[in-house]
A and B are shown apart, each in its own frame.
Chain A
């Protein structure tokens, strides 16, 4: 369970920072939660370093192969450590970075949400579970990138990131499903062991490409690289976190994870290596020309991701080892550099290299830290970036490479390294050296200590690892790479000095070339400006999106002309056609072999009343009040039909719903016109009548065809198990609250949502009822008949008692939560009808939202309780209790669930009706007036009134 808690703590605790107003508490709570996760992770250290892989597994949806399973492999451990370690530094840094007017609680909530999703990816044992977390990172990074939601560039950047990474995630899901199909399991342990089966399968290329699309989009690999620079619209702590250790690294994490199963083929090699090389060189080239510090770092990030991808594409043990090492190094120096860029921006008011200059006097500490970061980024010896970069250069010279690869790779790699040196120098010298800038928006000075602490820590790591790699990073990298490579793990010793070899020569060429490039930068800028007109991913993306939107608009306009009458006509005609077609093609007789039952006169009369009622509803529909009365006869006869055909529960439900529906329609009619004007042409009416008769005839024929055919039911199980399994004799109720309790939970949720939607639709909505009826007669002033009012008041406790009785007996006799809830809602509504909203509302002054919510919580809680006790969700139990006087009766846990149903029904129905009743503007004013008067007059008057 500890394993599952590592990602779940930040995910579930994400809401906590939001609860505080105090900025220190916001940050502290986020820090404490992430800190707890980190402690839990560190507890796994001994096991991971000895090569074990702690596992935690619980079934989630076994039928789909989805398990709630986590593992801590060495590689996952390395990643989780980066996520949490850098995450904690970000928490500290952001406390000083996020401005006073920004909602800091929300920021930390998003950050924790993101952190938890990212931990989920790196610790998942199940591919589908990994996918869930993968999508969560897409969503949470969308929220983070768009944190400054008032800014258009932030919204666009967030949207682009979501579309690209979400689309890639979709492809990856398909790839995972194929992979699971091939290997027969979604458990990583099983999938990773199935290399031969996967490679031999005809679907291998498709699977590979789909998964690669997912990884490449996330890691901003060419040609999906363009979203990342635009994601820089995010607050800098977000960029520092997303683009160093987490979000974009998820893609390379996945690539590395898949090396043992998908890697090693020619296809893998060519796609991944080529993509990596193009990304590496192209992005490094672009980074040289960015004036925005964060833009420079963004392209540098893309380039380094390309480097890692390229290494994983090579797939040799040493290359994978180098990739893992570079993941670690890049995370450390890039997170630090982003934070430093943020500090510069924060203290000077700009991130533009063209404007910044000579800051080293005013910000010496920042300058030194940036020097270290840029050194690591450029690959200067004694900084950590040098080590992994040299290993990378050595790998591009590996003897295994043949043909064109043997020179393209080293040349491309050195070229990219030259660019990297050039942009690193530009960032450092451009900002800190030269003549001190004078026209900056802010006056440059060192930031508060809390802000410097995080980058300082990271830069210390860069230097320590750069000088003593074996001591500070050795065990971690060995565990990480070992988890991927297994027995192929090379016996490599991390060291600063490997003798004078070819890789060192390349490093020196890169450093020297970088300096030359930096000196010649003005000439390069001119060439670049000319090229860049053709190379803007954002413009391409936006024109593609807008073209898609236009095509969508055209398609919609073709199908959707805005006329409901037309849609319904087409819809019903199509349904009719689809219903008739199977009959037309079938040779079996229309009526089945089951004999019809004899008709009795009472039922015949009831049926005729129903038919008359339905037809009369149509005939009278212009006189609206009359048609409601006609409609109510139909509803009543339907409930009688349920009684007649052995469904007492349905009859009770139908009759109470009938009452509430009619009340609802009456209330609506109060505000709607009372008559329907004559509008349709004769032809239209004839057309509609024909369709109606055909639809009705078809429906009747369908019913007849079903009723005369034999049938099998699965209900024997419910009938047999109702008493021994559910402890109730009313099978319908036991099905609702026990066997199919999950369905019911869904249904009451829908009910609650409907209540809320109605509330929202009517919120702040006022409408004045017409003062006269259609004939111009004023309504009577005597709105609340005295007799009705005084009869309903004593009726209330009696009716509530009755509904309690209906509720309690529900498990064994007709009744239960739904019916009792409807009855209660009806009697409460009756008070409103009899005495008016002005009188009733202060007296029935409870919040229907709360009742509804309590009901849902109760129903859900019942389910969760059984889960907590290690039974499946919503398992019920029961016990017989004997009490004096009352005798033996039964207590079932399902009763608590049913109580939840009851509360939701009461809450939502009352919410709908009371809200609907209070939108009449005349009434609404009286309500607020009377509330005001009540307050001023005090309780005395209230008492007098009620006597």
Chain B
């Protein structure tokens, strides 16, 4: 199981990194989203993988998953969303100001006739 989860994490990071290195804002946003999903998953993994041990205290359950990474990741997910939203709006605003969605603000080359 650990191999699979680690592989998934690695693939998400790899895809995310490739996308944030693109030249247009939209793929960068996609890449950031992927990376933030991946990092949330990774933080969660530091509490290790547990099956059927939810952190709801009850009398017929003696072992529990680690609740601390979960609590941290929960807020991280929400803040991650806020960050993505911010980048999205920033890219829109940049498009409005610069009339291009190139990440470096480079103007479009005039089309060849």
Instruction: Given contacts A713-B68, A751-B79, list 9 more A-B pairs with CB under 8 A.
Output: A604-B4, A647-B70, A648-B54, A665-B29, A672-B26, A679-B23, A691-B21, A707-B2, A747-B78
A residues 629-658 touching B (CB-CB < 8 Å): 631, 634-635, 638, 641-642, 644-650, 653-654, 657
Contacting residues, chain B, for A731 (C-beta < 8 A): 55-57, 64, 67
Contacting residues, chain B, for A706 (C-beta < 8 A): 45-46
Q: With the chains together, A23 CA to B6 CA distance in Å?
A: 68
Q: Are A680 and B23 in contact (CB under 8 A)?
A: yes
Q: Are A696 and B17 in contact (CB under 8 A)?
A: yes
Rounded to whole Å, the gap between the CB of A822 and the closest CB of chain B is 7
Q: Are B81 and A660 in contact (CB under 8 A)?
A: yes
Q: Are B71 and A732 in contact (CB under 8 A)?
A: yes
A residues 903-937 touching B (CB-CB < 8 Å): 905, 908-909, 912, 916, 919
- Does A676 make an interface contact (CB < 8 A)? yes
Say whether chain B's binding surface is mostly helix, strand, loop, or mixed. helix
Rounded to whole Å, the gap between the CB of A681 and the closest CB of chain B is 11
Mask: chain A, 691-734; 1 = CB below 8 Å from B; 0 = not: 11101111111011011100101110011001100000111100
Q: Are A735 and B56 in contact (CB under 8 A)?
A: no
Contacting residues, chain A, for B64 (C-beta < 8 A): 719, 731
- Does A538 make an interface contact (CB < 8 A)? no
Q: Are B11 and A672 in contact (CB under 8 A)?
A: no
Q: With the chains together, A858 CA to B109 CA distance in Å?
A: 53
Contacting residues, chain B, for A598 (C-beta < 8 A): 1
Contacting residues, chain A, for B7 (C-beta < 8 A): 607, 611, 700
Interchain CB contact (< 8 A) of B55 among A679, A719, A765: A719
B residues 9-56 touching A (CB-CB < 8 Å): 9-15, 17-30, 33-34, 37-38, 40-42, 44-56
A residues 551-580 touching B (CB-CB < 8 Å): 562-565, 568-569, 572
Q: With the chains together, A617 CA to B15 CA distance in Å?
A: 8
Q: Which residue of B lies closest to A744 (CB)?
A: B75
23 contacts between A and B (CB under 8 A): A565-B104, A610-B8, A615-B11, A631-B34, A635-B33, A638-B37, A654-B77, A665-B33, A665-B88, A677-B24, A693-B14, A695-B17, A706-B45, A711-B48, A713-B66, A729-B56, A731-B56, A731-B64, A732-B74, A754-B83, A754-B85, A761-B89, A767-B95
Q: Are B22 and A621 in contact (CB under 8 A)?
A: yes
Q: Are A689 and B18 in contact (CB under 8 A)?
A: yes
Contacting residues, chain B, for A604 (C-beta < 8 A): 4
- Chain B contributes a number of interface residues (CB within 8 A of A) equal to 83
Q: Are A614 and B74 in contact (CB under 8 A)?
A: no
Q: With the chains together, A352 CA to B46 CA distance in Å?
A: 73
- Does A529 make an interface contact (CB < 8 A)? no
Contacting residues, chain B, for A679 (C-beta < 8 A): 23-24
- Does A603 make an interface contact (CB < 8 A)? yes
Q: Which 7 A-B pairs have the closest CB atoms?
A: A696-B14, A700-B10, A754-B82, A692-B18, A735-B71, A731-B67, A646-B65
Q: Are A676 and B15 in contact (CB under 8 A)?
A: no
Q: Which residue of A lies closest to B74 (CB)?
A: A653
Q: With the chains together, A668 CA to B26 CA distance in Å?
A: 9
Q: Are A812 and B89 in contact (CB under 8 A)?
A: no
Q: Are B70 and A650 in contact (CB under 8 A)?
A: yes
Q: Are B71 and A736 in contact (CB under 8 A)?
A: yes
Q: Which of A596, A653, A677 has the most CB of B within 10 A?
A: A653
Rounded to whole Å, the gap between the CB of A946 and the closest CB of chain B is 31
Q: Are B51 and A644 in contact (CB under 8 A)?
A: yes
Rounded to whole Å, the gap between the CB of A731 and the closest CB of chain B is 4
- A596-B2 contact in complex given A638-B40, A703-B42, C-beta closer than 8 Å: yes
Rounded to whole Å, the gap between the CB of A336 and the closest CB of chain B is 54
Q: Are A732 and B67 in contact (CB under 8 A)?
A: yes
Q: With the chains together, A488 CA to B86 CA distance in Å?
A: 64
Rounded to whole Å, the gap between the CB of A854 and the closest CB of chain B is 18
- Does A758 make an interface contact (CB < 8 A)? yes
- Does A496 make an interface contact (CB < 8 A)? no
Rounded to whole Å, the gap between the CB of B111 and the closest CB of chain A is 11
Contacting residues, chain B, for A718 (C-beta < 8 A): 67-68
- Does A793 make an interface contact (CB < 8 A)? no
- A624-B17 contact in complex given A563-B104, A718-B67, C-beta closer than 8 Å: no
Q: Are A668 and B78 in contact (CB under 8 A)?
A: no
Q: Which residue of A lies closest to B104 (CB)?
A: A563
Q: With the chains together, A916 CA to B80 CA distance in Å?
A: 18
Q: Are B89 and A735 in contact (CB under 8 A)?
A: no
Contacting residues, chain B, for A654 (C-beta < 8 A): 40, 77
Contacting residues, chain A, for B10 (C-beta < 8 A): 696-701, 703
Q: With the chains together, A757 CA to B88 CA distance in Å?
A: 12
Q: Are B70 and A649 in contact (CB under 8 A)?
A: yes
Contacting residues, chain B, for A562 (C-beta < 8 A): 104-105
Q: Are A669 and B78 in contact (CB under 8 A)?
A: no
Q: Are B67 and A719 in contact (CB under 8 A)?
A: yes
Rounded to whole Å, the gap between the CB of B2 and the closest CB of chain A is 4
Q: Are A707 and B92 in contact (CB under 8 A)?
A: no
Q: With the chains together, A669 CA to B101 CA distance in Å?
A: 12
Q: Are B37 and A713 in contact (CB under 8 A)?
A: no
Contacting residues, chain A, for B86 (C-beta < 8 A): 754, 757-758
Q: With the chains together, A714 CA to B47 CA distance in Å?
A: 11
- Does B107 make an interface contact (CB < 8 A)? no
Contacting residues, chain A, for B80 (C-beta < 8 A): 657
- A664-B88 contact in complex given A692-B21, A699-B9, C-beta closer than 8 Å: yes
Q: Are A730 and B55 in contact (CB under 8 A)?
A: yes
Q: With the chains together, A673 CA to B91 CA distance in Å?
A: 12
Interchain CB contact (< 8 A) of A610 among B12, B30, B55: B12
- Does A347 make an interface contact (CB < 8 A)? no
- A699-B42 contact in complex given A641-B5, A691-B17, C-beta closer than 8 Å: yes
Q: Are A704 and B104 in contact (CB under 8 A)?
A: no
Contacting residues, chain A, for B74 (C-beta < 8 A): 649-650, 653, 732, 736, 818
Interchain CB contact (< 8 A) of B26 among A650, A669, A693, A715: A669
- A697-B49 contact in complex given A638-B40, A641-B5, C-beta closer than 8 Å: no
- Does B58 make an interface contact (CB < 8 A)? yes
- Does A740 make an interface contact (CB < 8 A)? yes
- Does A24 make an interface contact (CB < 8 A)? no
Rounded to whole Å, the gap between the CB of A479 and the closest CB of chain B is 54
- A607-B68 contact in complex given A565-B104, A671-B92, A713-B47, C-beta closer than 8 Å: no
Q: Are A657 and B78 in contact (CB under 8 A)?
A: yes
- Does A446 make an interface contact (CB < 8 A)? no
Q: With the chains together, A604 CA to B4 CA distance in Å?
A: 7
Q: With the chains together, A610 CA to B15 CA distance in Å?
A: 12
Q: With the chains together, A618 CA to B33 CA distance in Å?
A: 12
Q: With the chains together, A679 CA to B21 CA distance in Å?
A: 12
- Does B96 make an interface contact (CB < 8 A)? yes
Q: With the chains together, A283 CA to B55 CA distance in Å?
A: 72
Q: With the chains together, A673 CA to B83 CA distance in Å?
A: 21
Rounded to whole Å, the gap between the CB of B48 and the closest CB of chain A is 7
- Does A772 make an interface contact (CB < 8 A)? no
Q: Are B15 and A603 in contact (CB under 8 A)?
A: no
- Does A438 make an interface contact (CB < 8 A)? no
Contacting residues, chain A, for B84 (C-beta < 8 A): 661, 664
Q: Are B30 and A621 in contact (CB under 8 A)?
A: yes
Q: With the chains together, A635 CA to B93 CA distance in Å?
A: 26
Rounded to whole Å, the gap between the CB of A316 and the closest CB of chain B is 61
- Does A32 make an interface contact (CB < 8 A)? no
Contacting residues, chain B, for A689 (C-beta < 8 A): 18
- Does A627 make an interface contact (CB < 8 A)? yes
- Does A688 make an interface contact (CB < 8 A)? yes
Q: Are A735 and B67 in contact (CB under 8 A)?
A: yes
Q: Are B23 and A671 in contact (CB under 8 A)?
A: no
Q: Which of B9, B14, B24 has the most CB of A within 10 A?
A: B14
Contacting residues, chain A, for B30 (C-beta < 8 A): 617, 621, 627-628, 631, 665
Q: Are A596 and B3 in contact (CB under 8 A)?
A: yes
- Does A890 make an interface contact (CB < 8 A)? no
- Does A599 make an interface contact (CB < 8 A)? yes
Q: Which residue of B lies closest to A755 (CB)?
A: B82
Contacting residues, chain A, for B5 (C-beta < 8 A): 607, 641, 703, 707
- Does A512 make an interface contact (CB < 8 A)? no
- Does A586 make an interface contact (CB < 8 A)? no
